[in-house]
Amino acid sequence: MAVLRSALSNPLYVVNVEEAHSIEGETSLSAEDTVEWFAEFVSENERAIRQSLTGALGVDPGREATAEALAYGWEHRDRLEGMGNPAGYLYRVGLNWAKKSLSRRTVVFPADTAKEPEWVEPRLPEALAGLSERQRVVVYLVHGHDWSLSEVAELLEISKGTVQKHMERGMTRLRRELKVDS
């Protein structure tokens, strides 16, 4: 599985049919169908899982957790296929992995001033890190990646109203922390 994990951490990974067959053995789908299904799943969901985990954990831990969650998804793909929200499930897998495997770290959003537009508040990364996990994920996805409230609600498996409340509370706290009037 280490080969698959390292391949999944690279966005341009390739898993061939023989590797899939030798890694996991026989499954209900043919090895070719399994690889095709999983490749399609990853192409449709990896970005959402990565963005969500990055919002919750910070950039580097979010990427690590995404790779681990996708590796777990590969190992348990038969279970994933039958789920109503496999991306949300893998988001939770990534969070749980990070909480167990990573030492308690402060959430870090790097402030790369060379690439940041002038309108970005320099204290924003630190202020985001001070939000609760849910507030940070919701604010990060809605305002940072232009997700709709419905998309966030679906991924986090919470109601749209709960997402709205987390966003309002998170934005209020950010405004207060950054001393910005609405």
| Distances in whole angstroms, Cα of residue 115 to Cα of each of 18, 119, 128, 132, 137 | 42, 12, 19, 27, 22
> HSE-up of 6 (CA within 13 Å, CB side)?
2
pLDDT band at 127 (very low <50, low <70, confident <90, very high): very high
The pLDDT of residue 77 is 86
Same domain as 134, residue 74: no
Q: What is the pTM of this model?
A: 0.70
Q: Which of 86, 101, 116 is the last residue of a domain?
A: 101
Burial, 74: exposed, middle or buried (Cβ in 10 Å; 0-12, 13-18, 19+)? Answer: buried
Residue 117 within any structural domain of the chain: no
Reply yes or no on whether the pLDDT at 17 is more than 70.
no
Q: Which of 101, 136, 153 is the last residue of a domain?
A: 101
Mean pLDDT of 151-170: 95
The pLDDT of residue 141 is 93
Same domain as 131, residue 89: no
CA angle, corner 157, sides to 129 and 29, nearest 5?
115
Residue 112 within any structural domain of the chain: no
Q: What is the pLDDT of residues 46-74, one digit of tens each?
A: 999 999 999 999 888 999 999 999 999 99
Q: What domain range includes position 45?
A: 2-101
Q: What is the pLDDT of residues 93-106, one digit of tens each?
A: 999 999 898 876 65
Residue 54 within any structural domain of the chain: yes
Residue 65 within any structural domain of the chain: yes
Same domain as 72, residue 140: no
Q: Which 3-state string (H, E, C) describes 20-88?
A: HHHHHCCCCCCHHHHHHHHHHHHHHHHHHHHHHHHHHHCHHHHHHHHHHHHHHHHHCHHHHHCCCCHHH
Same domain as 147, residue 73: no
The pLDDT of residue 32 is 77
Mean pLDDT of 129-154: 93
Q: What is the pLDDT of residues 163-181, one digit of tens each?
A: 999 999 999 999 999 998 7
Q: How far apart are CA 3 and CA 23, in angstroms?
A: 10
| Overall domain count for the chain | 2
The 10 Å Cβ neighbour count of residue 43 is 9
The pLDDT of residue 48 is 95
Contact between 73 and 55 under an 8 Å Cβ cutoff? The reply is no
Same domain as 96, residue 48: yes
Same domain as 63, residue 9: yes
Same domain as 134, residue 97: no
CA angle, corner 51, sides to 65 and 163, nearest 5?
110
Reply yes or no on whether the pLDDT at 14 is more than 90.
no
The overall average pLDDT reported for the chain is 80
